[in-house]
Amino acid sequence: MSSRGECQTKNTHDYANEDEDDLLAGPETVLDEGDIALLKTYGLGPYSRSIKRVEEDIKKTQKQVNDLIGIKESDTGLSLPSQWDLVNDKQMMKEEQPLQVARCTKVLEDSQSGEARYMINVKQIAKFVVGLGEKVAPTDIEEGMRVGVDRTKYAIQIPLPPKIDPAVSLMTVEDKPDVTYDDVGGAKDALEKLREVVELPLLHPEKFINLGIDPPKGVLLYGPPGTGKTLSARAVANRTDACFIRVIGSELVQKYVGEGGRLVRELFTMARSKKACIVFFDEVDAIGGARSSTDDGGTDNEVQRTMLQIVTELDGFDPRGNIKVLMATNRPDTLDPALMRPGRLDRKVEFSLPELEGRTQILRIHAKSMNCDRNIRFELISRLCPNTTGAELRSVCTEAGMFAIRARRKSVSEKDFLDSVNKVIKGYQKFSSTPKYMVYN
């Protein structure tokens, strides 16, 4: 047998007799600049450099054309002075008088003429009883609505939308998340309960109407960190066409008295203006903690006032409308009982640690987008990760890719996953807080 064959036989024999600990343990090398440069070339196609050169030439040509025409960038964003029409602009300002913002406080019926009159409140001026302009229909004006009135007779010229704080408007998720239910592993039962409460009333409301019952409108998602609560909420936002509003609990904790409650009121006012809306409170334990009899200071009192405003909006005198409320927390034991009662949060969905089948599914989901070798035993890897969360399993897949990069390979092998398990699950076990949160849940 050749020396090459002897070397191969020797390597095979030594590799088979190694213990599992020796197999998982291995020297780690740090990436240098050459490794990073090589890594950047992995995703490039055959024409990437040519396309990049053409794009640079196009940008350079556009800049030359703008310089020859005389176009200069303006800090104000205005057009060139040569294109201004000041005479017509002044004439237009004279014809169209600016309106003043008022609030319609009451609608009055005139017994003689039968026409409606409206009591408006102009801030810092007075209250007036006025009529409607020529372009406004009586059905467009309601009590409590903001309106635009002229500055002479204070007649109502236009209805205005409700004033919403910009901080509340920015909570709306405009773009649908790219997470689907197939991307959430190990939480099959929890997802079924969540879809039953959120999706079914929005997509098939006639089923509840025929039975004569009101659908559940509030769901509490609880479980240890990293089990997929926020990920499931993103999947719900992707599945439904309803407006999705994401609120982090700490955003409602404000410095000044009454600011948190005002944000909650404007939040639900904006939600009621939508055809259907899902409001997701993440980390609700920041504002939903149980009330105590001790006076700990003004900050805790303000947090309690914010929580009471949420309780009022969930089940108060004003109807909630077609608004579904989702709340996620790691500490359900700290929430106030008034917030947890049925009618406000009808369904409690637990996201527990995934079982063996769920862990295998999570590993396959995260490895789906990776360049892996064939016949990797994900079930074996999941058996080596007992009592782990989905976030830790994702970290295992990421670290396995880092081992492949250090070895300058273009695919991830099963040994990379085993080394990653040894580093993430066993090495970082002292940083895991899952056992502590399992006591709370």
Mean pLDDT, rounded, for 216-237? 86
Residue 235 confidence (pLDDT) above 80: yes
Residue 94, pLDDT score: 76
Mean pLDDT, rounded, for 284-288? 79
Is the Cβ–Cβ distance between 98 and 151 less than 8 Å?
A: yes
Mean pLDDT of the chain: 79
Q: How many CA atoms lie within 13 A of 414 on its CB side?
A: 11
Place of tokens 């005198």: 317
Q: Which of 39-43, 70-74, 109-113, 362-366 has the lowest mean pLDDT?
A: 70-74
Domains and CATH numbers, the chain: 95-160 (2.40.50.140), 168-292+299-350 (3.40.50.300), 356-438 (1.10.8.60)
Distance, in Å, from the CA atom of 169 to the CA atom of 245, rounded to the nearest integer, reads 9
Degrees to nearest 5, angle at CA 145 with 139 and 146: 120
Distance, in Å, from the CA atom of 397 to the CA atom of 374, rounded to the nearest integer, reads 15
Distance, in Å, from the CA atom of 405 to the CA atom of 385, rounded to the nearest integer, reads 23
Q: Which residues contact 46 (CB under 8 A, 6 or more apart)?
A: none
Structure tokens at 31: 């990436």
Read off the pLDDT band of 97 (50, 70, 90).
Answer: confident
Is the Cβ–Cβ distance between 162 and 103 less than 8 Å?
A: no
Structure tokens at 33: 């600049």
What sections of 187-297 are H helices per DSSP? 188-203, 206-211, 229-239, 259-272
Distance, in Å, from the CA atom of 215 to the CA atom of 209, rounded to the nearest integer, reads 9
Residue 115 confidence (pLDDT) above 50: yes
Read off the pLDDT band of 7 (50, 70, 90).
Answer: very low
Is the Cβ–Cβ distance between 218 and 344 less than 8 Å?
A: yes
Read off the pLDDT band of 433 (50, 70, 90).
Answer: low
Highest mean pLDDT among 71-80, 264-273, 392-401: 392-401
Read off the pLDDT band of 61 (50, 70, 90).
Answer: very high
Residue 5, pLDDT score: 44
Mean pLDDT, rounded, for 389-410? 89
**Beta strand spans in 99-190 (E):** 100-109, 116-122, 126-130, 146-149, 156-160, 172-173
| Count of CB atoms situated within 10 Å of the CB of 333 | 11
Distance, in Å, from the CA atom of 290 to the CA atom of 26, rounded to the nearest integer, reads 49
Residue 18, pLDDT score: 47
Distances in Å between the Cα of 47 and the Cα atoms of 23, 50, 142 are 41, 5, 62
User: pLDDT of 126-140, one tens digit each?
Assistant: 888 888 887 888 787
Of 359, 362, 355, 307, the C-alpha closest to 334 is: 307
pTM: 0.64
Residue 316, pLDDT score: 67
Structure tokens at 11: 């390597």
> 387 by DSSP, 3-state: which?
coil
Q: Which residues contact 201 (CB under 8 A, 6 or more apart)?
A: 208, 215, 216, 324
Residue 56, pLDDT score: 93
Residue 19 confidence (pLDDT) above 80: no
At 393, give phi and psi (nearest 5°): -70, -35
Is the Cβ–Cβ distance between 24 and 421 less than 8 Å?
A: yes
Mean pLDDT, rounded, for 364-376? 87
Phi-psi region at 129: left, alpha or beta (left = phi > 0; alpha = psi -120 to 50): beta
Query: For residue 264, what are the β-bridge partners?
Result: none
User: pLDDT of 169-204, one tens digit each?
Assistant: 777 776 677 788 888 888 888 888 888 888 888 888
